[in-house]
Structure 1
Amino acid sequence: MRLPPTTALISIAALAPEVRALAVPPAQAPLPKRDNLDQIVLPGFPHPNPTVSYWQDPPHRIANLRTTPELPTTDVFDYVIVGSGISGAAVAFKLLSRDPNLSILMLEARTAAGAASGRNGGHCKPGDWKEVKDWVELYGEDEALRIGKMEQDCVDDVRNFVKTHNVSSGWQDVETADVYWTKEAFDEAVEIKKFQDELQQRRPNDGPWSNKRTVYAGQAARDYWKWPQILGAVAYTSHTQNPYLTVCALLEQGLEKGLNLQTTTIALSIDQVSNSSEAGAKWEVKTDRGTVQGKQVVLATNSYTNALHAGLASTGFLVPQRNQVAAVHPSKDTSNNTVFRRSHSYPDLHSGNNYIAIRAPGDIGAGDVIVGGSTKFSPTRERNITDDSVINQDIADDLHGVGRVVFGYENWGETTKVVKDWTGIICNTPDGFPVVGGLPNEEGLWASACMNGHGMAWAFRSAEALVQMMAEGETPTWFPKAFDINRAWNYTAEE
């Protein structure tokens, strides 16, 4: 999901100092106790009572895991990772795969994979192909191809992880399509596809060309996709899954290699140690259960990064946004209907930037239709919100009706069963890319955050790059320069 630059982040920049002051208790104040947290909501931090997503029911066996019963406050860890979503899980897994002797502590404010990674729409999809033409204009061909290839490689890496480790997350390789209801939007997509075809001919070894995209126009699109009102579609290979189970499996791989996971432990502040201890501690992370020490700290905190780092918050570059998803079920039997074997997104339908994924035959919840988007039904577009404990009913009403509209009566039937509504908090940047790397002038403090609602296609490879930066002191040549965290400090919000 992308925000146009003119939306800027003026409000979050203005609020950042207040949020920081409210969010972090004074050093002399007692930290909140865990049994009181149900009544405590710290501005900008994960809400203690979020909605339960479709994917998180039932909870995973490591949902409330604390590797050690007590928080290890006397140890100095090589790395302290804040956040247990796909970013944090991938960083831990890749660090320990490189060096199994590392000591790594992971702090999670809620349950394992309890934030955006366990709350999305169930896609693992290289859907930003439509941006390559714009990327060429903004960054040049080399960088645009680097970005596009990384997206496809990242999706392939997640698939390889699932297949290699026999992860039971309902992974399905599916044909997907971006489908279009308006001539203007479809014509633009066709032009972008032609642009990329020409680019591929000139540079066959440099781009995301392994995933072939096919254009269906007019009646051919309607016949193939069985959607009665579309004007065209661009189809390619994608994947559906239970993202929560995939990330929990990634965490379990880290746990097997020695990761110490501490769930329901809120990181409240991060401070440099004035004088490094003999054990090499350079950072302290204060939590509601005590203070831990690390030689290096990784912020895998996505939409909650502003709350922990006043410097990043003050740039106005990272803006949280609440996204909403619904799981619904059509009244007609879908088990033998091929229309319900694919996933779709459609940026130009009246409901606004919706996507659909269908639970495949054999999966738990087979035939359930997962629908996300519709933020246009919120006056604020749900921006600058970090509360995922509530449902926006206007958005929910639209999500419940989308399937009936796009699939049509013959495929859907007359009624819709609502299985579950939930929300999650994503993080957006004005350019649509995450922030990855070392924070300037803060040696040993790193971040891989703000995935723009596209974590399954950015986070795994971003973690790979970050690990190389931390371990070798250099950035891999394949990693996009456009992801460099330092650009946040060069950002000026447009009035």
Structure 2
Amino acid sequence: MWLSSAITVLQIAALIPEVRALVVRSPQIPIAKRDGIDQTVLAGFPVKNPTASYWQEPPHRIANLRTTPHLPTSETFDYVIIGSGVSGASVAMKLLSRDPNLSILMLEARTAASAASGRNGGHCKAGDWKDVKEWVELYGEDEALRIGKMEQDCVDDLRAFVRANNVSSGWQDVETADVYWTKAAFEKAADIVKYQEELEKRRPNDGPWSNKRRVYAGQAARDYWKWPQILGAVAYTSHTQNPYLTVCSILEKGLEKGLNLQTNTMALALNQLNASSEAGAKWEVKTDRGTVKGKAVVLTTNSYTNALHPGLASTGFLTPQRAQVAAVHPEKDTSNNTVFLRSHSYPDLHSGNNYIAIRAPGDIGAGDVIIGGSSKFSPTRERNITDDSVINQDMADDLRAVGRVVFGYENWGETTTVVKEWTGIICNTPDGFPVVGGLPAQDGLWASVCMNGHGMAWAFRAAEALVDMMTEGEAPEWFPQSFDIARAFNRTSKS
């Protein structure tokens, strides 16, 4: 198994006592009643009463599934996966696809796919293309192309899964664009498109070149995109979906292959066992319903990882953030307006960084416009918050008004109907990349977490790479070294 060049074996060795102690010394947790057992929600853990997500109504048939009525505390599982979002669901399905004889237990604190995977804006797009030049400067050309290709391949793989399995999640292939209101931001984006085109000429087999970027400038952009105030747009292929239904379908594939899913079961602490443990168990996971054991534990806990693993929390590398979304409906009939068959994001409008997806004709909620972002209206940018039971009213006010402003009167009309508002907790890293791999000095403890609000374009392939690490002993060649979990331990919270 490879390690990031940013951290040495000696540095890892120096961290071993501290990291192990931080996990083993997880606090004894006082509890209040649930399922006959007391429980309290500690800071950083999932709250019990999240806002109702647009995507999760009505709840999926497996929302509250417990494969076995009682938590199987007497069995030692090959893998215990904590978290049932796109990362956990994909890891389980991919493990069982390789070896259906594996025993896998999945713990979910709330209902199935109830966290970020069921709370996002409905996009599935390779939208980080704008960072390729920076990636080349920071990591070199080979690694930059590896990162870009993995993002596009991940989106393509998820699309292939949906199509092959006839998933009823409203998946649509759509035209998308990053649209720009300021000259400097647009010119920078256009330059990056040219930079990518030059890379493709030199490295035709190494990058995400299947998804071409098309640049529209000035009046040509306004005529084509029909947003009245933009200076330019970079268009490419994207996808919209109900992400909750897509992830629940991945979970069902795992269930068909033998996955034991235990919803409404909160993991509270990890305990590393000694080498002579019965039945090969290396880890215990304390939950609010009892303690389970596994030969390996996989953290797919995204923004809640710090609460469960104090060692990772101590690095300061993972930062939770509350994101907010609104589903609204324009006054005008949009069914014959091509602009409402696209998806959008605008990175530069007063740092709004909003994204917009639209429910397609024939879908439940057809014509609803899903708008996320507006964190500029929070003084903290909603960082270091893990409570998704709350709506930020200042952000809500902006999200309600965005559609009317950016689409313009001719497209939108005068009034806006608010259909649903909700929040979800994402997880960010300083470099914008996920954290994937085995925890240093903690044999059998693995993680694929902190997707930076980009889980639909990172998680499915990150799961594939993690399965390779766990079963083959090393990451696949296509997997970016920049995602290696070891880099988190080469940084202190002050750096």
Matched residue of 1:71: which SS? coil
Instruction: Tell me, yes or no, if the aligned pair for 2:325 and 2:370 is still in contact at 8 Å.
Output: yes
The one-letter amino acid paired with 1:175 is E
What are the within-5 Å matches in structure 2 for residues 285-300 of structure 1? 285-300=285-300
What are the within-5 Å matches in structure 2 for residues 167-316 of structure 1? 167-316=167-316
Instruction: Tell me, yes or no, if the aligned pair for 2:357 and 2:371 is still in contact at 8 Å.
Output: yes
The one-letter amino acid paired with 2:478 is W
Give the structure 2 partner of residue 136 of structure 1.
136
Shift of 1:393: 0.3
Deviations 1:435-469 (A, max 9, x none): 00000000000000000000000000000000000
The one-letter amino acid paired with 2:483 is F
Shift of 1:214: 0.3
Taking structure 1 as reference, are residues 298 and 315 closer, same or farther at Cα in structure 2, changes over 3 Å only? same
How many residues align? The count is 474
Deviations 1:385-413 (A, max 9, x none): 00000100000000000000000001101
Instruction: Tell me, yes or no, if the aligned pair for 2:31 and 2:38 is still in contact at 8 Å.
Output: no
Instruction: Tell me, yes or no, if the aligned pair for 2:314 and 2:492 is still in contact at 8 Å.
Output: no
* Residues in 1 aligned to 2:141 and 2:454: alpha-carbon distance in whole angstroms: 22
* Residues in 2 aligned to 1:477 and 1:239: alpha-carbon distance in whole angstroms: 27
Give the structure 2 partner of residue 391 of structure 1.
391
Instruction: Tell me, yes or no, if the aligned pair for 1:64 and 1:111 is still in contact at 8 Å.
Output: yes
Residue 464 (structure 2) pairs with residue 461 (structure 1): no
* Residues in 1 aligned to 2:445 and 2:492: alpha-carbon distance in whole angstroms: 24
* Residues in 2 aligned to 1:415 and 1:494: alpha-carbon distance in whole angstroms: 47
Deviations 1:462-488 (A, max 9, x none): 000000000010111100000000000
Matched residue of 1:149: which SS? helix
Residue 431 (structure 2) pairs with residue 421 (structure 1): no
What are the within-5 Å matches in structure 2 for residues 57-76 of structure 1? 57-76=57-76
Shift of 1:136: 0.1
Matched residue of 1:59: which SS? coil
Residue 374 (structure 2) pairs with residue 409 (structure 1): no
Give the structure 1 partner of residue 159 of structure 2.
159
Instruction: Tell me, yes or no, if the aligned pair for 1:351 and 1:402 is still in contact at 8 Å.
Output: no
The one-letter amino acid paired with 1:138 is L
* Residues in 1 aligned to 2:281 and 2:472: alpha-carbon distance in whole angstroms: 20
* Residues in 1 aligned to 2:359 and 2:277: alpha-carbon distance in whole angstroms: 52
RMSD: 1.7
Shift of 1:25: 4.7
Give the structure 2 partner of residue 7 of structure 1.
none
Matched residue of 2:295: which SS? strand
The one-letter amino acid paired with 2:131 is E
Shift of 1:181: 0.4
* Residues in 2 aligned to 1:255 and 1:304: alpha-carbon distance in whole angstroms: 24
The one-letter amino acid paired with 1:489 is F
Residue 388 (structure 2) pairs with residue 378 (structure 1): no
What are the within-5 Å matches in structure 2 for residues 311-390 of structure 1? 311-350=311-350, 352-390=352-390
TM-score with structure 2 setting the length? 0.94
* Residues in 2 aligned to 1:487 and 1:139: alpha-carbon distance in whole angstroms: 13
Residue 481 (structure 2) pairs with residue 490 (structure 1): no
* Residues in 2 aligned to 1:324 and 1:30: alpha-carbon distance in whole angstroms: 31
* Residues in 1 aligned to 2:360 and 2:383: alpha-carbon distance in whole angstroms: 32
* Residues in 2 aligned to 1:293 and 1:137: alpha-carbon distance in whole angstroms: 44
Taking structure 1 as reference, are residues 453 and 416 closer, same or farther at Cα in structure 2, changes over 3 Å only? same
The one-letter amino acid paired with 2:467 is V
Shift of 1:430: 0.1
Instruction: Tell me, yes or no, if the aligned pair for 2:78 and 2:103 is still in contact at 8 Å.
Output: yes
Matched residue of 2:265: which SS? coil
Matched residue of 1:88: which SS? helix
Instruction: Tell me, yes or no, if the aligned pair for 1:25 and 1:31 is still in contact at 8 Å.
Output: no
Matched residue of 1:34: which SS? coil
Taking structure 1 as reference, are residues 30 and 386 closer, same or farther at Cα in structure 2, changes over 3 Å only? closer
* Residues in 1 aligned to 2:69 and 2:467: alpha-carbon distance in whole angstroms: 28
Instruction: Tell me, yes or no, if the aligned pair for 1:104 and 1:260 is still in contact at 8 Å.
Output: yes
Deviations 1:124-169 (A, max 9, x none): 0000000000000000000000000000000000000000100000
Shift of 1:37: 9.4
Give the structure 1 partner of residue 4 of structure 2.
none
Give the structure 2 partner of residue 41 of structure 1.
41
Deviations 1:78-108 (A, max 9, x none): 0000000000000000000000000000000
463-472 or 266-275: bigger deviation: 266-275
Deviations 1:50-83 (A, max 9, x none): 0010000100000000000000000000000000
**Gaps (5+ residues) in structure 1?**
1-16
Shift of 1:41: 3.1
Matched residue of 1:208: which SS? coil
Taking structure 1 as reference, are residues 277 and 38 closer, same or farther at Cα in structure 2, changes over 3 Å only? closer
Identity %: 81
Shift of 1:492: 3.9
Taking structure 1 as reference, are residues 272 and 493 closer, same or farther at Cα in structure 2, changes over 3 Å only? closer
Matched residue of 1:482: which SS? helix
Matched residue of 1:130: which SS? helix
Q: Which segments of structure 1 move beyond 2 Å, counting only runs of 4 or more?
A: 29-33, 35-41, 274-278, 492-495
Matched residue of 2:69: which SS? coil
Instruction: Tell me, yes or no, if the aligned pair for 1:55 and 1:118 is still in contact at 8 Å.
Output: yes
Instruction: Tell me, yes or no, if the aligned pair for 2:44 and 2:386 is still in contact at 8 Å.
Output: yes
Give the structure 2 partner of residue 9 of structure 1.
none
Shift of 1:273: 1.3
The one-letter amino acid paired with 1:370 is I
Deviations 1:317-354 (A, max 9, x none): 00000000000000111111111000000011136100
**Gaps (5+ residues) in structure 2?**
1-18
Give the structure 1 partner of residue 446 of structure 2.
446
Shift of 1:24: 5.6
Shift of 1:429: 0.2
Instruction: Tell me, yes or no, if the aligned pair for 1:143 and 1:480 is still in contact at 8 Å.
Output: yes
Instruction: Tell me, yes or no, if the aligned pair for 1:33 and 1:289 is still in contact at 8 Å.
Output: no
Instruction: Tell me, yes or no, if the aligned pair for 2:39 and 2:288 is still in contact at 8 Å.
Output: no
